[in-house]
Amino acid sequence: MAIHGTLSTMSVPDLLQFVATGRKTGTLKFGRGKIVKQIYFENGLIVGSHTNDPKEYLGQVLIHYGKLDEKRLQLAMEVQRESGGKLGEILISKGIMEHAEVQEILRIRTLDIIYDLFLWEEAQFEFYDDETLPQDLIRIEVQPNSVIMEGIYRVDELARYRELIPSDRAILELGTGWTSSLNFGKEVRQVLYFLEKRMTVAEICYNMHASSFHTYALLYDLVSKGIARVAGELPEEVDPEVELAALRGKVSESLRAARADLNGGKPDEALTKLHNILELEPKNGEAQALLLEAEAKFIKHVTLISSRGMPCHESLSRRTASSKGSGPRKGLCSRASTANGTSPQSYPSARFAKPTVCA
């Protein structure tokens, strides 16, 4: 059985808890724009991961943790291009790294992939229950509960870091507290080199071959000591694919809400949501089918009330009656009155002018 939704309806901690508690086997997939991440589970345990985010590739992680230099990584990747196979398996077969070292790096990489998901605000997710795991998967074993605790901690810490560093678009430079006589380790000296070039936080993260959380921690320490400072911030660029993914998520949620209204005997509220959806996606087949069902139920509902001697407009919800732009029209209620044998009347319509999609 597959489940799907958006992070606005089910958070990453809730999803991990769901899989762990049910001791499920399968793949949990996240998508945000062009970035796709997959977490593999077996009996509730995390056993592997996959990502198409360049900064999370295994080679980047190996360089960051000092397990490999650029030269040896290029040699291993050349073998991979010629013969195929997993980079980790190539490193082991060529004697460049021990099996235990690769396992540990894969464990760290999987954790970093998941921890980054805790920082995502908008994304689509799908869980494929009992899906076969990749045959070439190099297995690890991680308890989801420990990941949840660390992930929540990182969210709190990042909120603190962003009090001084507002976003990945922030441009940083050397501050007044910087002097060449200060003694720093190799990693911090590398950060200072990027600050001298006035790079953004996102650029520094990529060039450090490190997770954004780790880089934010280093930058926060330097900014708080006056060694670095925020020089500005690039304007936010809206990724059309991210925006489209968020829109699809809202439409999906509104369709579920409209279906619930229909099942709960609220056809007028369902009509509101469905017209909102069709303004955004006029060719949405599911919304069109539900609209026909909602109109039929609405007419039946109004006809029943009208036969009892009650004006049908009194049966509409407060939201319908008070909506802007819902002046008298010969719409559904007129058809209902005709069906009941009474003269057509003007009633508040269930259609609204420029409403927003229900979240």
- In this prediction, residues 53-74 reach a mean pLDDT of 77
- In this prediction, residues 239-251 reach a mean pLDDT of 61
- In this prediction, residues 204-215 reach a mean pLDDT of 83
Q: Is the pLDDT of residue 335 over 70?
A: no
Q: What's domain 170-233's architecture? A: Orthogonal Bundle (1.10)
**Across 12-21, 58-67, 219-228, 338-347, least confident range:** 338-347
- In this prediction, residues 253-260 reach a mean pLDDT of 84
What pLDDT digit, counting tens, does each position of 91-110 carry? 888 888 888 888 888 888 88
Residue 232 falls in which region: left (phi positive, over 0), alpha (psi -120 to 50) or beta: left
What pLDDT digit, counting tens, does each position of 310-319 carry? 454 444 444 4
- Residue 237: predicted pLDDT: 64
* Whole-Å CA distances, 333 to 88, 264, 269, 305: 67, 20, 15, 11
Q: For the chain, give the mean pLDDT.
A: 78
- Residue 343: predicted pLDDT: 42
pLDDT-above-70 percentage for the chain: 79
Position with higher pLDDT, 326 vs 167: 167
- Residue 222: predicted pLDDT: 94
Q: Is the pLDDT of residue 176 over 60?
A: yes
Domain map (residue ranges) of the chain: 2-152, 170-233, 240-348
